[in-house]
């Protein structure tokens, strides 16, 4: 009877032991995704409903101002919810910690808190929201840095898994195929960017972006193949493809008035390709935040034997919520193009010169970080890089 009661109550508050810790992270992801959907629909379709709010009177019915304010207010509520969860769960490391049940259960209360934090920011003065917007720029940068570290760590774990003595024989062919495929796609991407984004010699900035990307790819490959580094082609191939993707994305984020992009640019009307591209980017925000949030092992500074395996939590609750809090700031910057006083066309995301340069700088940091992981152990031989 007791177990049946626990099963019944779990349908309401998900507070029982068992798989609820894993279910909880999906529910947090759903709340985050819902906030993103609200931000998008409010930005693109609900500006008339915002004109009556006294807190938005400074916008004087300017649709750009109303849209950016709405996005920032929803982002602020989402940030506050997840930062509160971070404060109440940080340091939780054992299953018998009472905060474990708070993270995994009590969903009626937490859903109510999420609704309150979504509504309350619309009654705050604009000066508070603008201050939050300035802070959100730094928070979004922190999110990008965390995501970058997580990606590099994932690539190394992938490579180590395939070249380990247990998997070396059966993974030899997939390793070669994936490595070669990455380099082929990298080459194709570079060629297409030269064709589509540098139609004439006056497109100096795009020429610089693509050429510098090619130089970074060559540099990473040469270093990875050096006998004293021997990082292999899988890690450098995946990183090369990632750098090309970042360059491509940066150029596609250039303003609609940019003439060097020979691909068809949208001027406000959304065709099926624009809608699909937007939805993919939209879902990618939530997916990137979710996957980064559960990758706490990459940022753990504790010894692994501090907590017994049977008492260890499946992921770090505090880190998980911190990433979502930073992700709330990040999605706000994407929806306003990192500019607090404008919004973009409908069905557009992360467009503008600021967005372009953020992605380019992120690319340079990615290359620098990867190169350092290869040459760092060689240059600093006295340091232990295995932990």
What digits encode the pLDDT tens for the residues 257-273? Answer: 667 876 655 444 545 55
Joined together, the tokens standing for residue 114 give 């999420």
Taking a C-beta distance cutoff of 8 angstroms, is the pair 107, 13 a contact?
A: yes
How far is residue 305's CA from residue 311's CA, in Å, rounded to a whole number? Answer: 11
Residue 176: which H helix or E strand, with range? helix 168-197
Joined together, the tokens standing for residue 6 give 């626990």
256: Cβ–Cβ under 8 A, 6 or more apart, which residues? 265, 266, 267, 345, 351
Residue 353 CA to its chain's centroid (Å): 19
pLDDT on residue 2: 45
Q: Report which of residues 368 and 43 the model is more confident about.
A: 368
Calculate Rg over the CA atoms of the chain.
23
How far is residue 193's CA from residue 320's CA, in Å, rounded to a whole number? Answer: 36
pLDDT on residue 359: 92
The β-bridge partners of 200 are none
pLDDT on residue 17: 42
The upper half-sphere exposure of residue 11, i.e. CA atoms within 13 Å in the direction of its Cβ, equals 5
Poorest-confidence range of 74-78, 102-106, 176-180, 246-250? 102-106
Mean pLDDT over residues 215-227, rounded? 90
Q: Using 50, 70 and 90 to split pLDDT, how confident is the model at 5? A: very low
Question: What's the N-to-C CA distance of the chain in angstroms?
Answer: 47
The answer, yes or no, to whether residue 69 has pLDDT greater than 70, is yes
Q: How many CB atoms lie within 10 A of CB 185?
A: 15
Residue with tokens 């540099």: 219
Residue 97, φ and ψ in degrees, nearest 5: -75, 130
- The DSSP-derived string for 248-312 is HHHHHTS-TT-SS--SPPPSS---HHHHHHHHHHHHHHHHHHHHHHT-GGGG--S-GGGS-GGGB
Taking a C-beta distance cutoff of 8 angstroms, is the pair 100, 160 a contact?
A: no
How far is residue 31's CA from residue 224's CA, in Å, rounded to a whole number? Answer: 41
Taking a C-beta distance cutoff of 8 angstroms, is the pair 94, 321 a contact?
A: no
**pLDDT, tens digit (0-9, with 9 covering 90-100), for 118-163:** 999 988 888 888 899 999 999 999 998 888 888 888 888 888 877 7
The answer, yes or no, to whether residue 306 has pLDDT greater than 60, is no
pLDDT on residue 360: 95
Poorest-confidence range of 65-79, 146-160, 194-208, 262-276? 262-276
How far is residue 5's CA from residue 330's CA, in Å, rounded to a whole number? Answer: 41
How far is residue 269's CA from residue 109's CA, in Å, rounded to a whole number? Answer: 41
* Percentage of residues in the chain having pLDDT higher than 70: 75
Nearest one of 92, 96, 142, 107 to 315, comparing CA atoms? 92
- String of b and e for 42-79 (b: at least 16 CB within 10 Å)? bbbeebeebeeeebbeebeebebbbbbbbbbbbbbbbb
Nearest one of 364, 335, 328, 374 to 64, comparing CA atoms? 335
Nearest one of 215, 266, 246 to 355, comparing CA atoms? 246
Mean pLDDT over residues 97-101, rounded? 83
Mean pLDDT over residues 206-226, rounded? 93
Q: At what angle do helices 272-293 and 126-163 cross, to 10 degrees?
A: 80
**pLDDT, tens digit (0-9, with 9 covering 90-100), for 314-366:** 778 888 899 999 999 998 998 888 887 766 667 677 788 888 999 999 999 99
pTM above 0.85, yes or no: no
């Amino acid at each position: 009877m007791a177990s049946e009661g626990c099963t019944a109550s779990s349908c309401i508050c998900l507070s029982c032991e068992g798989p609820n810790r894993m279910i909880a992270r999906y529910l947090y992801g759903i709340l985050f995704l819902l906030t993103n959907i609200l931000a998008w629909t409010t930005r693109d379709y609900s500006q008339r409903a915002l004109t009556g709010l006294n807190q938005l009177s400074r916008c004087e019915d300017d649709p750009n101002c109303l849209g950016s304010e709405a996005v920032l207010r929803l982002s602020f509520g989402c940030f506050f919810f997840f930062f509160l969860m971070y404060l109440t769960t940080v340091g939780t490391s054992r299953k018998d910690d009472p905060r474990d049940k708070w993270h995994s259960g009590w969903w009626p209360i937490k859903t109510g808190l999420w609704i309150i934090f979504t509504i309350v920011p619309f009654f705050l003065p604009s000066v508070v929201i603008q201050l939050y917007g300035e802070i959100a720029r730094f928070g979004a940068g922190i999110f990008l840095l965390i995501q970058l570290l997580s990606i590099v760590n994932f690539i190394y774990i992938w490579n180590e898994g395939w070249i380990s003595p247990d998997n070396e024989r059966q993974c030899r062919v997939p390793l070669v195929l994936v490595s070669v495929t990455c380099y082929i796609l990298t080459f194709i991407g570079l060629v297409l960017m030269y064709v589509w984004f540098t139609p004439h010699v006056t497109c100096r900035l795009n020429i610089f972006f693509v050429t510098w990307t090619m130089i970074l790819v060559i540099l990473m490959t040469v270093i990875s193949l050096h006998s004293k580094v021997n990082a292999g082609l899988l890690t450098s191939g995946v990183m090369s493809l990632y750098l090309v993707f970042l360059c491509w994305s940066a150029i596609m984020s250039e303003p609609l008035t940019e003439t060097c992009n020979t691909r068809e640019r949208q001027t406000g009307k959304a065709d099926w390709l624009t809608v699909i591209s937007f939805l993919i980017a939209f879902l990618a925000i939530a997916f990137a935040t979710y996957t980064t949030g559960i990758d706490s092992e990459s940022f753990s500074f504790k010894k692994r034997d501090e907590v017994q395996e049977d008492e260890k939590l499946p992921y770090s609750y505090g880190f998980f919520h911190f990433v979502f809090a930073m992700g709330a700031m990040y999605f706000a910057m994407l929806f306003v193009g990192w500019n607090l006083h404008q919004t973009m066309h409908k069905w557009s995301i992360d467009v503008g010169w600021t967005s372009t340069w953020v992605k380019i700088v992120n690319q340079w940091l990615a290359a620098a970080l990867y190169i350092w992981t290869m040459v760092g152990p060689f240059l600093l031989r006295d340091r232990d890089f295995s932990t």
